[in-house]
Structure 1
Amino acid sequence: MGAVVSLAQRDDVRRAARAIAESGRFVHGDPQKVRLVDADPERGAFLDALLISADPEASAPHEVEPFGPVATVLAYRDTGHAADLLARGRGSLAASLVGDDLTWTTAVVRQTAPWHGRLHLLDSVTMTQTTGHGSPLPALRHGGPGRAGGGSEMAGIRGVVDLMQRTALQASPRLLDSLRAAHPGPPAPSA
């Protein structure tokens, strides 16, 4: 994974990961162990990738942010429960939704867009062409509401429209057409 910015950040990430894992368990990795080649784990700010399975109803997975190579998996019962869990985080830079069910994807987009700077929508058409979750692209908004930077990480005109609700959708033409059909919006101005 490489190093985080400092030994202090490494220690913060370790503390945050352990706090989240209190409501679940580490599925992959150990915050205290790092596999290195020709480097000193005590002098470098290195961390292995960590994957945590946590209780979705616990507060830590929604309130603690380990700013490092840590991912948390939360099980959900249905679309409404998934949307509720995403909202409990009070905003994020990006969220990825993966699936070919247009009805499900459309419902999740409508319920979760206000909580994310960008929704990365993946289906069987786009899976092989993805830029990756959270990749900051200059033409797309990068940042979200709440604790996620306020939506102006890319500066420029993005910072001017902070008070407007908008969400960039990255998806296949088929999925975008389905979303447009479900919510057509205002008519285009006539010439």
Structure 2
Amino acid sequence: MHGDPDKVRVVDAGPERGAFLDTLLVRADPEAAAPHEVEPFRPAATVLAYRDTAHAADLLARGRGSLAASLVSDDVPWTTSLVTETAAWHGRLHLLDSVTMGRTTGHGSPLPALRHGGPGRAGGGSEMAGLRGVLDLMQRTAVQGSPRVLDALGT
């Protein structure tokens, strides 16, 4: 593990005045149940070793759905194969290569222009970023009527 779950570093705030957590990078046994069944809800990433493309696809599917997964490679055939095999399990696949690494938005960065969410326990089909998070909770009413009435409502 890289990072300390018991230490919290904050800037311009008291750690006791909020739900602050430092970043963790965790290396896990890919065959263990925990990395696939327990979702770390914090700034965290889990690194799992894989044998080949089929094993990597199996590991990505074992979580039964995630909001985002990152694939980092310059091997375009490998990346496209893995995307084809795993897209159904993720709301967003963040594909990084040597061209995009320097300007990445980050693995879990909410992107308000994208409507996505992983299957099952991961987002329920909707990323709640930006205005999308507000609009999904607003009352919507469709109004049907004559042009004269609808024009009057629009003023």
TM-score higher than 0.5: yes
RMSD (Å) for aligned C-alpha atoms: 2.4
Q: Do the aligned partners of 1:94 and 1:142 also contact (CA within 8 Å) in 2?
A: no
Whether 2:56 is the aligned partner of 1:56: answer no
Deviations 1:47-96 (A, max 9, x none): 22111111111111111112112221111111111110000110111111
- Look up the match of 2:48: 74
Which structure has the bigger radius of gyration? 2
Q: Which amino acid aligns with 2:60?
A: L
Q: Which runs of 5+ in 1 are unaligned?
A: 1-26, 160-191
Instruction: Determine if contact 1:118/1:141 at 8 Å carries over to the other structure.
Output: no
Question: Among 87, 90, 94, which residue is 2:64 paired with?
Answer: 90
Q: Give the corresponding residue for 2:153.
A: none
User: What SS does the corresponding residue of 1:145 show, helix, strand or coil?
Assistant: coil
Between 1:90-99 and 1:138-147, the stretch displaced more is: 138-147
Question: Residue type matched to 1:62 in 2?
Answer: H
Deviation at 1:40, TM superposition (A): 5.3
Partner amino acid, structure 1, of 2:71: L
Say which SS state the counterpart of residue 74 (structure 2) adopts: coil
Report the count of equivalent residues: 131
Share of identical aligned residues, percent?
Answer: 82
Q: Equivalences for 1:9-158 in 2 at 5 Å?
A: 27-36=1-10, 41-42=15-16, 44-154=18-128
Per the normalisation by structure 2, the TM-score is 0.73
For residues 103-161 of structure 1, the C-alpha deviation after alignment (integer angstroms, 9 at most, x for no partner) is 101110111000011111122222233222232223323311111122123569xx8xx
Checking the alignment, whether the CA contact within 8 Å between 2:27 and 2:47 is kept in structure 1 is yes
Letter paired with 2:52: D
Q: Distance in 1 between matches of 2:105 and 2:13?
A: 31
Structure 1: which amino acid aligns with 2:46?
T
